[in-house]
Amino acid sequence: MRKSLKTSRHGVTRLSVSSPQGKTIQRLIELAKTIFSEAEALVNEAALAELSSRAGVLMISEINFYEEVARFEADLIRLALEHSGGNQSRAARLLCLRATTLHWKIKQYGILV
């Protein structure tokens, strides 16, 4: 089996592996990209709020940390379920969670499987 990893200055762009482990790594890379883009959006939002407050205009009255974390966690769970074809055990492994924890979070957030 031949493995090749292509990288750029922005990180991993392509992984050529024809094994189940390679597919798992590709899924993890996609999840990491999602996490990175979400974090980048939050940083941009915070920077805009800071600039706005310096100019005397308050655009964001308050950011509830726990609501943002819950929203992000639910989105990440949905993405893992999508990548696992709805298989909760595989999604749990992909997220490094126990299946019971994932099942509880799915119920908590009202995620349809």
Is 3 within a domain?
Answer: no
Helix (H, G, I), strand (E, B) or coil at 95: coil
Give the total number of structural domains in the chain.
1
Written as six digits, the tokens of 102 are 């994932």
Is 86 within a domain?
Answer: yes
Burial 37-47 (b: 16+ CB within 10 A, else e): eeeeeeeeeee
**CATH for 80:** 1.10.10.60
Which domain, by its residues, includes 94? 65-113
* Burial class of residue 94, CB neighbours in 10 A (0-12, 13-18, 19+): buried
Is 21 within a domain?
Answer: no
Quick: pLDDT tens for 65-80: 899 899 999 999 999 9
pLDDT < 50: residue spans in the chain = 1-5, 12, 15, 58
pTM (predicted TM-score): 0.50
pLDDT at site 48: 73
Distance CA(39)–CA(33), nearest Å, equals 10
Is 88 within a domain?
Answer: yes
